[in-house]
Amino acid sequence: MTAATALLVIDVQESFRHRPYFREEGVARFLAHQQALIDGAASAGIPVVQIYHVEDSGPFSQASGLVRPLEPLRIAPDAVFTKRRHSALVGSGLDVWLVRQGIRRLLVSGIRTEQCCETTTRHASDLGYQVDFVSEATLTFPMVDAAGTEWSAADIRARTELVLAGRFARILSVDQALAA
């Protein structure tokens, strides 16, 4: 890669298993892609940065014991940050760390595709980072809109790729991201 790169593993945490919208469908495939990305980045000397979402109460509170990697993910991060907003770059110290490390390219992965991953991607792009959105290493869940229509995880992923591609990020597979 032309610039120093870091892999962001956003909100891949047990907390989600305790949300009413959580579905196991697609989790095994996501975890296989996420693990391959983590392992490939570590092998290539790309720093792996783990970011957790935290809240004051509930399954995202640190007191819950659920702010830990989504099992059975294996990760030995080079840095760990916590956040309270959708963007991993707001109030977490991540941007300062990235600048100090000379990192200008980000590989974005994690949970939820259209929320924290997409928001971090847009924010990073606006800050001048080169961003690769590794869509197959993101996970989301079906959602119901105001009209009562359910949008599948695949629909949400496709929409996210559509709005990010070419404007905020390159959309890459795990293999493409590791080969770039």
At 43-56, the pLDDT tens digits run 999 999 999 999 99
Pairing of strands 4-10, 79-83: unpaired
One-letter amino acid at 64 equals: S
Please tell me the predicted confidence (pLDDT) of residue 143. 96
pLDDT mean over 113-119? 97
Per-residue confidence band for 2, with pLDDT thresholds at 50, 70 and 90: very low
Token duo for residue 173: 């597979």
Please tell me the predicted confidence (pLDDT) of residue 3. 59
Distance CA 69, CA 71 (A): 6
**Lowest mean pLDDT: which of 3-7, 11-15, 82-86, 99-103?**
3-7
pLDDT mean over 73-100? 97
Number of domains in the chain: 1
Per-residue confidence band for 1, with pLDDT thresholds at 50, 70 and 90: very low
Q: What is the CATH number of the domain that holds 138?
A: 3.40.50.850
Please tell me the predicted confidence (pLDDT) of residue 180. 84
Distance CA 49, CA 150 (A): 33
User: pTM here?
Assistant: 0.96
Report which of residues 3 and 98 the model is more confident about. 98
> What percent of the chain shows pLDDT beyond 90?
97
Q: Which domain holds residue 118?
A: 4-179
**Could you write out the DSSP letters of every residue in 59-121?**
GGSGGGT--SBPTT-----SEEEEESSSSTTSSSSHHHHHHHHTEEEEEEEEE-IIIIIHHHH
